Each structure stands twice: as structure tokens, then as C-alpha cells.
Chain A
Amino acid sequence: MLITIQVNNKKIRAEKGETILSALYSNGIVIPTLCRMRDFTPTGACRMCVVEIEGRDRLVTACSQPVEEWMKIWTHSPRVINARKTIVELLLSNHPDDCLYCDRNLNCELQRLSEELNVRERRIRGKKIKFRLDQSSPAIVRELSKCILCGRCVRICEEIITSTSLDFINKGRQTHVGAALDRDFNFSSCIHCGQCVLVCPTGALHEKHNITEVQEYLNKSGITKVIQYSPLVPAGLAEALGVKYNKEFDKIVNAILRKIGFDKVFTTGTGTDICIKELTDQLSERIKNRGVTPLIISACPAWVKFAEQFLPSLIPQLSTLKSPQQITGVLIKTLVAGQAGLKPEQIFSVSVTPCMAMKFEARREGMMRKGISDVDSVLTVRELARLIRLYGIDVANIGYEPADEPMEGRSSAAALADVSGGLTEGIIRSLYFMKVNKDADKQVFKKLRSVNSFREATIKIGEIEVKTAVVDGLAGLEKLESSLASGIKYDLVEVMTCPGGCVHGAGMPFLKSGDEIKNRIKLVYQADETEAINLPCKSPVLLNLYEKYLAANKEIADRKIFYTHFEKRNVLL
């Protein structure tokens, strides 16, 4: 039911029961917010969104107050503006003034608000609290002195990621956000998905930077610098650099990376193709021999850590296949090294991903052989954008270059894997092609492409039926668990930690409008529509790799090197 309320002396229409904030937003009136997150229940913690209502003594928070017919609201009265400014001044009173050195400089919500509210001097001086810098996690750095206690990270970790690794500890001035028993992050149940980093309004949480390390190695002589980038990276990079993305941008990325100083540029998409092929074989075999079902995909490193901690009973069903990044990494340190006549330690292998947990994965025990890691350094898309700016590369006039052999191309199914459900779709399509020798009808995958956090589809492939489930964001796990408990037998299960898949990964550029994720998904699906090679088994790159190189190389011929092991982890849950 629509009602009329008065805002700043103008009448606006509002839905009964909606909050003042949502009524204001749908009428194009913008007021600042800080602790608010879209689609979450409001907490009213930061009080940034206060408005004045005639007849009320106190200012009210627009994010939590429902509209009522009689309301006369002032969104920018002197009292409101003064209150908002004071809030920011209080937040700044004990904030370290190191914006110039901060990870979020020019991209910080607190900085933006203080600019918008015209804070031009330090009016309130608070005692600065010194917290220890927590760099213990391989992926996430915590700088608690920059934390403004908005609680976004606590909420996303509990409600979306469900690992609940963060909470407020202590009270009053001592309040801070921390892990269980206030220990360092590497001891916690954190799965390094980095969603907290995406929602942090300041630089209190950010990725562990590997730029300096990469730079150091780029300057070293006698080392071959190799880089791989995930299929989603060009689209993310275009977003970060503010240029329009088209398919040719991949070739620009190759040129950029070579200009930065990398000797060889590969696409992780080839690794994804291998991943799809291996999983298809595994699934086909498990169906044929009635092996352990379901086959649970292990390509998402955050999910793997989650399972190791919270669901150790599922570990035997997990495919032990490494993630595409690690598969490509293995090939770089074996095949590519062999071709160039190099020892693995003479290669510095970098990966660019939209994921933050990959930083953790590259450091996993099973990802090293003889003390040498397959992927030496992992960069997020944001870090790569920084590196490009650092090296002053003119992206507009750089030209097009292909990637390097033998991992120079991918199928569109590999790109699809960056969207939740995409990997399942790729595997099923491959299996279909393998069994029936023609492409599966696209309509079949409609169910896998919906937006629910838990989706199921049964797909008929010739004589057999394959029952699949996709968990899109760990919040959907509850439904999977209850389905499994009720005795439903799935053949293939895919779990993605970040809602939406890698397109919502924590290594992608920060979200500004909130529509970015939809655009990224659209780009991925568009690529799948238009590209000619839609399956790994049709990709000449993959066929070449398997037939020519893999068989000839003793180290990798049995493909055991693509596999690893997972085991129960002992952390404080």
C-alpha cells in the first residue's frame, strides 16, 4: 500500500512498512550511510543516516525506522548535518592519520564522508588506540587501529559466509573486532574468502600485498618470470582501470603483462579446462563404477578449508583435484620449465586471480613439491591494476598480443566456471558430449543458472541421469546438508564460497554501485554465447597439451601431480 510522507517540504510516495531510507532512495534523495549493507537487516549502529522528524525530540536513524503517514522529515536540516559531521569527527578522533599510506586511500568510505561533510580540521582529539598489526594470515591483513566498528565484517562472516570467525571483543573503548580468543587470524576458523575485505569501509581489512615481492623478482636477473591470469581478470581489470571491456581486452592484458616484464604469459583458463576434463573423467568413472558419491568439486579453496574445518565428514567425497590456478602452476614448474631447460626454482610463477583465498591456497602444504611452491606469488585484480599504474602503462595504445604456448587459450566453459554453477555446467556439457557426441541443449542448464543459494538439476545424458546440486554462497550449505541427510543421492556437487561465484570474489575491484556483479555475470554468459570453442574437449590448446606434452613428460604423464590431499583441520570453531 502506498502512503504519502513529506520530505524536505515535498510530498513523496512510500510503501507502507518500508524504512525511511528505502523510501528516500527510491525517490532519489541521497543521505549518507556507513554501517548499512544492502539486503541485511539494519542495525542503526553508526547513526550516519539520522534524519529529523517533526514532533520527535531525537533524531532517528532512517535505515531502521519504518515510514508512517504523518511523518514530516528533514534530511539535511542544520541539526542533522551537524550531527552527521560530529559522528565523522568522533570517528576520526582516534583514527590514525595515515591516509597517504593506507590501502584504501581515495577509495575509503570514511574519507569520502569526511570530505562530503566538509570536515576540515581535527576538532575532537581522542587517545589513539594502538593495536598490533595482524599479518599472520596469508591472505588478509587486519589493521585494527583503522577499524570504526561498523560491524559489517562481523555480519557478513556470520550471515553470508557462515564461518563466524569474527566478533566484537571486549567493550567500551577496548572494543575491537577479532577472532576466537583474540588470537591471530592464522589460528582462526577464517577461510580467507575475503568477503569482509570487500565490505570494510576503511582500510582496517585488506589483502596481503604481494606487489613488492613481485617487483623485486621482476628486477632480478637469471630468473624467468611467468604469469598466469584467470579468465575473469581482464573484465575485472577493465572495471578497475575504467575502460570498456570487450573480448579483445584479453590480448591487451597479455601485452600489458609482457610490458611489465613477464617473460611468459599464460591463461589460467587452460588450467580450468584441465580441471573440467579431469572432473568429467572422475564423474564418469564414479558413475560407471558406482564409486563414492557425490563428487564434490574442490576448485574453491575457501570452500575446501571450510569443509576441512566444519564438515570433515565430506572430505572423502571431495575431489582431490587442485584448483585451476594450482594446475596451471604445476604445469609452469614442470612442463614449461622443462621446455625452457630451467629448474623449477629458476622460475618465478605469479598468478592473478579474482580470489583472495588463492593467496592462502598457494601456501598450502600440498601445493609445494620439494620445498618449491608451484605458484610463488598471487595478486588480486586490484593489485594488478596498481602494478599497471606503477609501471605507467598506456593501456589504450598497447596493441594486442597472444598468450604463450602451451597454455594460451581456453574454452568458454572455462570462463563460465567463474560464475556459480558454471563449473557444473561445463562438466555436464563435457560429459554429455563425451557420451552422446553432440552438444547438450542449453535449456537443460536453466535451473543451474538461477539465483537461489541452493539449486538442483537432474540432467539426462543418454541412458543415465546425473543429479547435480550447486551451492551458491556458503549460506546454501544448510539446504545441501539437509538434502544429503534426507538421503538424496547427488552425483555432482559444486560449492562456491562467494555468493554468485568468483565474479563476487574478494580480489575483484571494490563494488561501487552494486550492479557490477550482474554485469560481470552478463559478460561471462555473453562470452559463452559467442565463443566458438564451448568445451574443453574441443579446445585445440587442451588437446595439444594432453596428446603432445603430457604424454611425453614423465613427471606429469600420470596426471597425479594435478591432485592433492585434504584433511581435517584443527582450529577453534
Chain B
Amino acid sequence: MSTDIESILKKYKPGRREYLIPMLQEIQDDLGYLSEEAIVKVGSFVGLSTTKIYGLATFYDQFRFVPSGKVQIKICHGTSCFLNGSQSVIDKIKEETGIMPGQTTRDGIFSYEIVTCMGGCNNGPLICINGEYYTGVKAEQLPDLIKKLRFIIEND
């Protein structure tokens, strides 16, 4: 795992903070999240304190600090989806998975995040599960959907 971080860092010049975000993005693409080790290593590579790196990374929604679940759900909370009732979808997912946005369930299966607009405004509420879009989602469909997904993952 650690060699991955180092081989990514090798592509950049040390001590240059302008590459900080691309660096973090690349590490996240590779690891799936920003681990404590990654933050510490990036910090000493760029010459900034861990506090600063963490402060910067938490500013952006794209970075996560726990590994994502096998099923990653994005829920649109943009204006149009909001008007079409995305709040009830979010509430239902929260209820079904028992976690907050950005977190991962203990079994490592589910994680979800709230995003603003994925470009399907006429078909809201829109959710995206592992890259597959579901349009016009209703809260009452979710329990079955989540059961199905859990079944698929557990029997994979």
C-alpha cells in the first residue's frame, strides 16, 4: 500500500504546494480514499503540516477519509431533484443504511454521498449506484433496491 503512495509522489516535485490537489486526487483514485498515512506522506513531501493538508482536503467534497463501500451511491440534491423530493430519498437511504453521508457501513458494503446535480434534472430525483443512473427514484423503492444490492454483493 505504502509503495503506491510513494510511486505517485515520485511523479511530482517535492516542496511544491501547487500540485497538492492533483496529488491528493491521484492518491484517492488509487486507494479509494485518503488514509492517514497518505496525508502524512503528502504533508512531508510538500513541506506542509498534516493539519494544513487535512484542512484543505476536507474543504472539497471529492475527498473522502474512509474507504468507500462496495456499493457507492450518489444522491443528487440539486435544485431540480430537491423540488422533486430528493430529501425523502436521502432520509430513506440514511434510514436503510444507518450511516451519514461520507461514511461507510461497518460491513463495508454501502457508502453514499450527497452531490449537487448530475445533469439529469428533468428526471429527478436522480441517484447513481456504482456509475449506473437511476431516474425518478421514489423513497419507497429503496428498501427493495438496497436488499437486492446487498444480496448481490454478499453472494458474489
Binding site for B on A (CB under 8 A): 163-171, 178-182, 188-189, 572-573
The listed residue (A168, A188, A572, A573) touching B55 by CB distance below 8 A is A168
User: What separation, in Å, do the CA atoms of A90 and B35 have in the docked complex?
Assistant: 36
Residues A181 and B50 in contact in the complex (CB < 8 Å), given A572-B40, A573-B43: yes
Q: List 24 A-B contacts (CB under 8 A).
A: A164-B49, A164-B52, A166-B51, A167-B52, A167-B54, A168-B59, A169-B55, A169-B58, A170-B59, A171-B59, A178-B51, A180-B39, A180-B49, A181-B50, A181-B65, A182-B58, A188-B51, A189-B49, A189-B50, A189-B51, A572-B50, A573-B43, A573-B49, A573-B50
Query: Which of A165, A189, A572 neighbours the largest number of chain B CB atoms within 10 Å of its CB?
Result: A572
| Pairwise interchain contact A165-B59, C-beta atoms closer than 8 A | no
- State whether A182 touches B49 (Cβ < 8 A): no
> Interface of B with A (CB < 8 Å)?
36, 39-40, 43-44, 48-52, 54-55, 58-59, 65
Q: In the bound complex, what is the Cα–Cα distance between A163 and B51 (angstroms)?
A: 10
Contact across chains for A180 and B59 when beta carbons are under 8 A apart: no
Enumerate chain B residues within 8 angstroms of A169, measured Cβ to Cβ: 54-55, 58
State the Cβ distance, A431 to closest chain B Cβ, in Å. Answer: 38
Closest 10 CB pairs of A and B: A167-B55, A164-B49, A180-B50, A180-B51, A572-B50, A167-B51, A170-B58, A171-B59, A169-B58, A168-B55
Nearest chain A CB to B72's CB is how many angstroms away? 21
Q: How far is the CB of A421 from chain B (nearest CB, A)?
A: 28
Q: Flag if A165 contacts B36 (CB, 8 Å).
A: no
Residue of A nearest to B53 (CB): A180
Query: Which of B43, B52, B65 is the most central at the interface, judged by chain A CB atoms within 10 Å of its CB?
Result: B52
Name the B residues within 8 Å of A170 (CB-CB): 58-59
Residues of B within 8 A of A179 (CB): 51
Residues of chain B within 8 A (CB-CB) of A181 are 36, 39, 50, 54, 65
- What residues on A are CB-neighbors of B40 within 8 Å? 572-573
Q: A168-B59, A180-B51, A189-B49 are in contact. List 8 more A-B contacts (CB 8 A).
A: A165-B49, A167-B51, A169-B54, A180-B50, A182-B54, A572-B50, A573-B43, A573-B50
Complex Cα distance A189/B52, Å?
A: 12
Question: Which B residues lie within 8 Å of A165 (CB)?
Answer: 49, 51
Most chain B Cβ neighbours within 10 Å, of A163, A170, A180, A189: A180
How far is B43's CA from A166's CA once the two chains are assembled, in angstroms? 14
Contacts of A180 in B (CB 8 A): 39, 49-51, 54
